[in-house]
Amino acid sequence: MENIYSFETENHATDNIEELFKNLKKLTSLPAEEAHCLPFECYSNRTILDTEVKEIFHSDWIFIGTESELPNCGDYLALDIGGEPVVIIRGKDQELRAFSNVCRHRGATLNPIGFGNVKKFICPYHAWTYNDKGELLGVPFKGKVKLDKKEHCLPEFQLHIWQGCIFINLDQEAEPFGDRLSMLDPYCELFQMKKFTKSFARTQYRCWEANWKVIMENAIESYHQFKVHNTTLEKYTPTKDVFYLKGSADCSLLAGKIIEINKMIKLILPDFFDYYLIMCLRPNCLMILRDAGIEWLSAFPIGRNKTAIRAGGASLTGKQNIIEKRFKKSFFDEDEVIVKNTQAGMHSRLSKGGKLVEMERPLVDFHQYWGRRLFGATPTPLYTNEKKLTEFHKCASEYFGKSFP
């Protein structure tokens, strides 16, 4: 299925960027029935990427992973957020903190991207040393130079924990996290999401050859499932049984049904609730919530058509069961191919995107978020699919023996 060759694409330059921005503002304010794909140039234009980095990745709350991935004092995760090296560490006092991952001496990167455990950060260049609160501890061979250690601490970033998930914001002046995801709280509480404190084996970042929006759009819609995951996911979480419950520019909620190939699975697994929830956490996270655990994917742009992605999950035991393993395998094996394929198609200058169908409603929400951040577009209000929501609440109440507020 992969192309045997493809043209080397440069920046998808746009003749009139102001005109494009004006049109995008209009496009991302349209109600769902009128919504179209974004113009393809949005997925490979340098100015668009730079604007996204400034208005989203460097100034909004970005999903990083879960608290359970950093359970011990000294555990850290280093990553790059739109060109900004960041490290999140659990301190001796058990608190998680986010710091710049750049040495205050001459700018070396302190920790390589990925996970680790340290007592203190020691710069690989001249071994300046920082503690878990970002304070400069030591400067070897300082000589007689006067150096104020307090002036050389690692800058700290805002960090917020929501339902066990870590979000950080690189903008010191940013609005607090607030109630952006409060619509999802009753569902997280119903599934007791906070009890999933054991993380699956930590996954490292991988690089996929597609724009970060192509990857997020693919992750948040189940429309492609019957085709792309026809012999895998589709068999036990069919496309026809996925429905949109409610959503807005802030987040979207969908539910799907796990069907019975599971006679066999049910023999090896304890009783479980047949529904799973799909939570789209703007801007860069897709999370699947089941009564047995969570699984998620996060995306970080590293270029116009390159994205670092990471998938993870947690449960009571930290062991992945057969369902989780299948979710992840289908995702990695099949989605990577289709997003790369789509990115290659989107370099076309002579083609343009079409209407979004009903099952692509999460894309409408995502585009509205994007339009609001980048161009000040006004999103449409929260939409609720009353019929499906009532149906889901009824099934959930029966299973969990609790009613919804």
Cβ at position 127, least distance to ligand FES in Å: 6
User: C-beta of 306: minimal distance to Fe ion in Å?
Assistant: 19
Query: Of 7 and 141, which has the nearer Cβ to ligand FES?
Result: 141
Which of ligand FES, Fe ion, none has residue 269 at its interface (CB below 5 to 8 Å by kind)? none
Give the shortest CB-229-to-Fe ion separation in angstroms: 6
Q: What CA–CA distance (Å, rounded) separates 71 from 275?
A: 29
In the complex, least distance from residue 219 CB atom to Fe ion, rounded to whole angstroms? 7
Nearer to Fe ion, 111 or 225 (CB): 225
Tell me the closest approach of the beta carbon of residue 245 to Fe ion, in angstroms.
19
Q: Which does 106 bind (CB under 5 to 8 A by kind): ligand FES, Fe ion, none?
A: ligand FES
Of the two residues 234 and 335, which places its CB atom closer to Fe ion in the complex?
335
Name the residues that contact ligand FES, by CB under 6 A: 103, 105-108, 123, 125-128
Nearer to ligand FES, 135 or 274 (CB): 135
Residue 108 binding target from ligand FES, Fe ion, none, CB below 5 to 8 Å by type: ligand FES
CB of 124 to ligand FES, least distance (A): 7
Kindly state the smallest distance separating residue 331's Cβ from Fe ion, in Å: 6
Residues at the site binding Fe ion, with contacts judged by CB under 5 A: 335
Question: Would you say 154 and 99 are in contact if contact means Cβ atoms under 8 Å apart?
Answer: yes
> Do residues 212 and 310 touch, judged by C-beta distance below 8 A?
no
| Six token digits for residue 314 | 């947690």
Give whichever of 89 and 216 is closer to Fe ion, judged by the CB atom: 216
Partners of 85 in the β-ladder: 80
- Beta carbon of residue 334, minimum distance to Fe ion (angstroms, whole number): 6
Nearest-approach distance from CB 277 to ligand FES, in angstroms: 45
Q: Of the two residues 335 and 365, which places its CB atom closer to Fe ion in the complex? A: 335
What's the rounded Cα separation, in Å, for the pair 70 and 76?
6
At CA 365, angle to CA 361 and CA 369, rounded to 5?
165
By a kind-dependent CB cut-off of 5 to 8 A, residue 335 interacts, out of Fe ion, ligand FES, none, with Fe ion
Q: Which of Fe ion, ligand FES, none interacts with 103 (beta carbon under 5 to 8 A by kind)? A: ligand FES
b/e per residue, 141-168, with b = 16+ CB within 10 A? Answer: eeeeeeeeeeebbbeebbbeebbbbbbb
User: Which one of ligand FES, Fe ion, none interacts with residue 128, CB within 5 to 8 A by kind?
Assistant: ligand FES
Q: Which does 296 bind (CB under 5 to 8 A by kind): Fe ion, ligand FES, none?
A: none
